[in-house]
A and B are shown apart, each in its own frame.
Chain A
Amino acid sequence: MRDPFRSICDDDLERRWIWISLILAFAMGGLLGLYAVASNIHPPSNVETIDSSRLHLTEEFAEDKLGVKQNDDGSLTVTMVAARYGFFPPVIEVPSNTPVKFRIASADVLHGVHVPFTNATAMIVPGYISEINTSFPTAGKYSFLCNEYCGLGHDSMWSRLIVVPESTQGK
């Protein structure tokens, strides 16, 4: 077959490289894409709006409604609010190896969350609800860091995530 790139390039070596580049790009994109779809790993992409100035009046994000809740299927939902300069509630405890869904809303400006050494990461954008779906295979003490500049006190915005071994939870 005639090489379709012959019209733009008449050097053999170079045409070979065009093919290699294209194959590399498609292989990497394809592999990552396939992996994401096959094991259902997607970035946090919840499309849901909320009025950030009235969180305290909502069913879900009122102060006394925050924290860890167990669902019927054994998975957990953690409802949290990010506000300058802390995460509420400030200490979260979850069992290892259990599906956890975080639902987080901002009460003021842009924040982010990152739990180092895990894939729990999301931006927290006023006006929207962020969701993270994950589970923590290793028990231990983790930091819940704000990873987006939110004002002069940004550095001090962090809290605790404690992952306890599954069996000690009594379930």
Chain B
Amino acid sequence: MNYSKAASLGLANMWVAFTFFAFAALLGLYQVIERIDLIPALKSPEMYFGSVSTHGVLMGFVLTTFFVAGFGYYTATTSLKQDVWNRPLAWFGFLLSLSGVLMAAVPLLTGNASVLYTFYPPLMAHPAFYIGATLLVVGSWAWCLEMVMMLATWKKANPGETVPLAMYGTTTNAILWFITSLGVTSELLFQLIPWSLGLIDTVDVGLARTLFSWTLHAIVYFWLIPAYIVLYTLVPRAAGGMIFSDHMGRVAFIMLLVFSVPIGFHHLYMDPFHAAGWKFLHMTGTFMVAVPTLLTGFTIIASLEVAGRLRGGKGLFGWIGALPWNNPLVLAAGLALLMLTFGGFGGMINASYAMNTMVHNTQWVTGHFHLIFAGTTVIMYFAAAYYLWPKMTGNALYSTRLALTQLWLWFIGMLVLTLPWHQLGLAGQPRRISSTPYDEELVQSWLPAEFAMIAGGVILFTSALMLVFILLKTHGNSQSVENPEVEYAESLHSTQRMPHLMNSFGFWVALIVVYMVASYGYPILQFFLLDTYGTVPWSI
């Protein structure tokens, strides 16, 4: 069948992602140096909080949204062997998102939006920041629609067939993101934008935080799902084996979809305005959402074991040595799983409703999400880029050796950065501080870990530059790629007879609606029943 792959859509989106990523990594390096009062000349809260706001927005919203879209377009076309549903719409969404980012960049870089990527009313930013953020999200909805329509078109043309796992995961993510982003979009449209334009005088901060929490948890699965898709569908083949179970992949995606949105209150454990019972309910769901990750860990390790044994590995652990660790996808998968194990352990502590008091808003939290998000998730983005750049450009990877070094540096840098951060958090250091003018004794005890964090930042920044260098060199490489086709892994167990529920989404979306009404219905309604007092804007 004749179809055209979305190479230019993929490349455009991913280049935007990695360009902003590199700039944000530079800001990260500046932040680790500034925040410990090492160089007095560098001291400036204005710069620091402008930088943290920009770093958070670029890493959390820009790198991810564009990477996910580019990755989605390319996997959708190559796994379904079908054209993009509506090309002009896809480009329109891309340009809308990009213009949103450029619009928000002006207040961010001039210090007029130092309200952090979590917005934090009643601190008020310039309206261009809120409007830019809204355009970024609305642009990404074009991608959601494209993915859903591509799946629908394919199903019509292939009645009764099993949707390829890569597309099943991508569509899960499109649906998940649309539902997830409704929370923050409501906050922006009904509260922050009218308030910053002076159309309304006050905002209810409790309501704003509740709406943001709707987005804040599930957004991390929007970031993570592409990494899981790579682990399930590309890594086993690259390792020389098969997916241990295609079914488990689907179960994991469905569980992520159903359980990740209605549990946002674990970000509000320490807030007033929601009764403990609601927080308890959301905690239960939070533990359930660990299940798909446990399943994924098992399936990926089992798939790697299949590959190792096919390559002649023997014994309980001999298969590990037999794996092709000189393949960037395989190496990244191994490193990602290690970081996921450490990070998952910390996550259990954050999620526990009582233990959270010890770590809430400390540097522990920053350590936790850099490990899982900047570590596990982003290292899989890198590996995907090394795999897809040659397919999308037609040029061979510039240097596999350099790519492997880059991945190792990212892993080492992440550990050197985040393990001390966990320790600093337990020793009471708050996150989001530009200096440490605290109790002398406390500050002294923080010093060793702070020096380690600077070393981590330097290693990570080096690695970030290497990534962009390798991608640029690959793009301009005169040597062509040997095999321009994306090779998805086959499943060890047959996928012929797929239960209907694991090949469709209707039922699950209905289930989420019910679950969302149960867990967010009253908590949102209460702000209209209580005698609440809005808050006027404050400048930073």
Contacts and interface: CB of A to CB of B under 8 A. Distances in A.
B493 A114 contact: no
B247 interface: yes
B270 A8 contact: no
A72 B540 CA distance: 42
B271 A125 contact: yes
B248 interface: yes
A42 B355 CA distance: 10
Contacts of B502: 8
A36 B273 contact: no
B189 interface: no
Contacts of A116: 427-428, 442
Contact of B205 (A18, A20, A127, A130): A127
Given A25-B288, A52-B533, A155 B433 contact: yes
B508 interface: no
Interface in B211-261: 244-245, 247-248, 251
Interface in A32-47: 32-33, 35-36, 41-47
Interface residues of B, number: 78
A153 B45 contact: yes
B316 interface: no
A123 B270 contact: yes
A21 B276 contact: no
Interface in B337-352: 348, 352
Nearest to B50: A152
Nearest to A45: B276
Contact of B245 (A9, A109, A112): A9
Contacts of A51: 533
A121 interface: yes
A151 interface: yes
Interface string A73-109: 0000000000000000000000000000000000011
Interface string A6-35: 011111011001101110111011001101
Query: Of residues B276, B284, B286, B295, which shows the largest number of chain A Cβ atoms within 10 Å of its Cβ?
Result: B276
Contact of B353 (A10, A43, A156): A43
A55 B87 CA distance: 56
B144 to A, nearest CB: 27
B123 interface: yes
Nearest to B430: A147
A163 interface: no
B272 A145 contact: no
Contact of B540 (A36, A131, A148, A152): A152
B432 A149 contact: yes
Given A8-B499, A8-B502, A149-B116, A129 B272 contact: yes
Query: Of residues B205, B209, B302, which shows the largest number of chain A Cβ atoms within 10 Å of its Cβ?
Result: B205
B270 A44 contact: yes
B49 A149 contact: yes
Contact of A126 (B269, B353, B535): B535
A146 B295 CA distance: 39
Contacts of A122: 270-272
B199 interface: no
A38 to B, nearest CB: 11
A13 to B, nearest CB: 8
A8 B499 CA distance: 7
Contact of A125 (B123, B273, B431): B273
A119 interface: yes
B275 interface: yes
A138 interface: no
B45 A112 contact: no
B290 interface: yes
B361 A158 contact: no
Contact of B270 (A13, A43, A126, A146): A43
B40 to A, nearest CB: 15
Given A44-B270, A151-B540, A155-B437, A10 B354 contact: no
A149 B120 contact: yes
B532 A33 contact: no
A18 B294 CA distance: 9
Given A25-B287, A156-B437, A119 B358 contact: yes
Nearest to A131: B272
Given A25-B290, A32-B353, A48-B272, A109 B298 contact: no
B436 A21 contact: no
Contact of A14 (B116, B245, B540): B245
Interface in B345-372: 348, 352-358, 360-362
B205 A110 contact: yes
A126 B285 CA distance: 28
Contact of A45 (B244, B272, B433, B533): B272
Contact of B362 (A13, A141, A147): A147
B217 to A, nearest CB: 16
Contacts of B499: 7-8
B373 to A, nearest CB: 19
A18 B352 CA distance: 22
A18 B295 contact: yes
9 contacts: A8-B247, A10-B493, A24-B294, A29-B288, A32-B354, A49-B533, A147-B360, A147-B361, A148-B361
Please list the 8 inter-chain residue pairs (A to B) with the smallest Cβ-Cβ separation, ordered nearest first.
A116-B428, A29-B287, A21-B294, A45-B276, A147-B361, A147-B430, A51-B533, A42-B276
Interface of B: 45-46, 49, 114, 116, 120-123, 204-206, 209, 244-245, 247-248, 251, 268-276, 279-280, 283-284, 286-288, 290-291, 294-295, 298-299, 302, 348, 352-358, 360-362, 427-428, 430-439, 442, 493, 499, 502, 526, 530-536, 538, 540
